[in-house]
Amino acid sequence: MRPGLGDLAARRFDVIVIGGGINGARIALEAQRAGYATLLVERNDFGAGTTSRATRLIHGGLRYLEHGEFALVYESLHEREVLVRDTPHLVRPLRLLVPVYEGDARPPWKVRAGLALYDALSLRKTLPRHRAMPPRALAAYEPGLSREGLRAAFTFYDAQVEFPERLVIESVREFTAAGGIALNHVEAVRFVSPGGALRAVALRDACSAREVEAPCAVAINAAGPWVDEVLRGSDGERHDPLIGGTKGSHIVVDWPDGPRNAVFAMAKQDGRPFFVLPWYRYTLIGTTDLRYEGDPSAASATPDEVRYLIEETNRLFPAAPITREHILYTYCGVRPLPFAPGEGEASITRSHFVVDHATRGGPHGLLSVVGGKLTTYRSLARAALREIVRRAQPSLAPAPPAAARAAATPGDGPLAVYGPRRNEVRALLDAEPALDTPICEHNPDLLAQVAYAVDAEGALTLADVLLRRLPCGWSRCHALDGAERAAAVMAKRLGWSGEQAAAAVDAYRRELRETLVPAPEVFGA
């Protein structure tokens, strides 16, 4: 998967995609399939940014209807249907309960009208339509839900992707299988554009600090909330901000007495929708929506945000309230929304668009993606490809359509996340039986999956494996008691010394503290 950085200077790419989140990975795949020799670079790891900090839903955007974004909702619902059909091992239908209380900004009739319109916009869908839930049925369905002031309750369907990082890796795998080159831990540091035309992108390998200029015809900046940071390396352009991100914080709680089902409710404090979701082995609660102007890498949940999520959740489920002690950790991401000073956070569009920097005084051949959300990554990539086609000719023959693969079958245990590729991991288990051992005693994930992440999925660090190839890093123990075993497997494949393996474990611990922040650290206890 990973050539030497020095090999890139001797090659000529049609397209370089900067940013290996869900959008960048899919743009690279679409370009490569269309015959464009494409390089994908990511300064951290594939899926390490906003993709992994989302609420982990594949949804149409019910609340976008209030802002008149009907086209976006229609597009999202279509994409939801495709993802449920084509990636059933990762994206699964999710039934959500919508309670409506006295004093809510949206009365029952308005909620029901919105749900009916939501159904109407999802033509030819396979998921059930919304339903009103009578009080008796509600008591059996969600007995812990507060009945005080409850005026109505409805159910509707969207979908959940427990581990969106796996969607990213699948796009990267398909991209490299089509002939593309994908490099994680490689940063785009500047653009080379003499005479106002893009000629190359200067890249730096974080592992070796080596720099090289990779020639290209088109560069697409798909760095999400880091778009403006990447553009500091362009020349001759006015640097008006493109991104005006908002941050969304979440809490993950171990709450055995909590709700049985997913809930979509309106917060009393500000009328903002939020979710209480069964997720992995826990409950995921979020999200907030606050203006954020700092470094997206440093975004974290504040005490006020955590209190807000706790209070609003306990209003719904007062009989079994959560406390700080229930919180396993918090995480926070920054949405790459367009710069829109003066607009309320909720009213900023969630649509995506592509900026041509030649219209802003920048070099010809440089494009940036603004906006985008997890659900619409495929349609965003198609839109980006249309912009590429207008500016460059492909140097390769288009790739044939990808062959259909068998869907995953139930009961695959930790291998279920690989879907049609699960037999590749089984083959590794057959070849190296010693790897048929759990990474740690609290999780089912195997050492063979660590080896597979290195061999086939481009993992270079322990965090790449445990946080973005496997789910166990998101568990209560974060697989810390198996970190040394996992590092030993990586060391054998990557040629690490004992000191390097120990340093890899230390680096994993640091990244955990920065990414999945426990409540005591949020509150300074």
For residue 230, the domain's CATH number is 3.50.50.60
Q: What is the pLDDT along the chain (525 residues), one digit of tens a residue?
A: 566 787 888 899 999 999 999 999 999 999 999 999 999 999 999 999 999 999 999 999 898 888 889 999 999 999 999 999 999 999 999 999 999 999 998 999 999 999 999 999 987 889 999 999 999 999 999 999 999 999 999 999 999 999 999 999 999 999 999 999 999 999 999 999 998 999 999 999 988 888 999 999 999 999 999 999 999 877 656 678 999 989 999 999 999 999 999 999 999 998 899 999 999 999 999 999 999 989 999 999 999 999 999 999 999 999 999 999 999 999 999 999 988 877 777 767 778 999 999 998 889 999 999 998 999 999 999 999 999 999 999 999 998 877 666 555 556 799 999 999 999 999 999 999 999 999 999 999 999 999 999 999 999 999 999 999 999 999 999 999 999 999 999 999 999 999 999 999 999 999 999 999 999 999 986
Q: What is the pLDDT of residue 406?
A: 57
What CATH number corresponds to the domain at position 448?
1.10.8
Flag whether 342 is in a domain.
Answer: no
Contacts with 243 (C-beta within 8 Å, 6 or more apart), sequence order: 225, 227, 228, 336, 337, 338, 339, 370
Q: What contacts 288, CB < 8 A, 6 or more positions away?
A: 247, 248, 249, 272, 301, 305, 308, 309
Is 307 a domain residue?
A: yes
- Main-chain phi, psi angles of 146, to 5 degrees: -60, 135
pTM assigned to the model: 0.96
Q: How many independent structural domains does the chain possess?
A: 3
Residue 348: the pLDDT is 77
Same domain, 486 and 425: yes
Residue 394 within any structural domain of the chain:
no
Q: Quote the distance between the C-alpha of residue 337 and its chain's center.
A: 15
Same domain, 435 and 509: yes
Closest CA to 167 of 250, 82, 283: 82
Same domain, 190 and 326: no
292: how many CB neighbours lie within 10 A of its CB? Answer: 22
Q: Is residue 401 part of a domain?
A: no
In a domain, 82, yes or no: no
Residues 514 and 426 reside in one and the same domain = yes
Structure token digits, residue 364: 């010809």
What pLDDT does residue 9 have? Answer: 83
CATH code of residue 114? 3.30.9.10
- Compute the C-alpha angle 46/49/55, nearest 5°: 115
Does some domain include residue 205?
yes
Distance CA 252, CA 384 (A): 34
Question: Do the domain assignments include residue 60?
Answer: no
Q: How far apart are CA 181 and CA 174, in angstroms?
A: 11
Strand-pairing partners, residue 283, are 253, 278
Structural domain boundaries enclosing 202: 5-50+165-243+349-389
Is there a single domain that holds both residue 202 and residue 216? yes
3-class DSSP assignment, residue 33: helix
Residues 296, 176, single domain; the answer is no
Same domain, 172 and 158: no
Phi/psi of residue 130, each to 5°?
A: -70, 160
Tell me the Ramachandran region of residue 56: left when phi exceeds 0, alpha when psi lies from -120 to 50, beta otherwise.
left
Residues 230 and 310 in one domain: no
257: in domain: yes
Count Cβ atoms below 10 Å from residue 147 Cβ, excluding itself: 12
The SS3 of residue 294 is coil
Token readout for 74 is 């229609």
Co-location of 217 and 287 in the same domain:
no
Q: Do 353 and 328 sit in the same domain of this protein?
A: no
Residues 237 and 252 in one domain: no
Element (DSSP H or E) covering residue 39? strand 38-42
103 with 70, same domain: the answer is yes
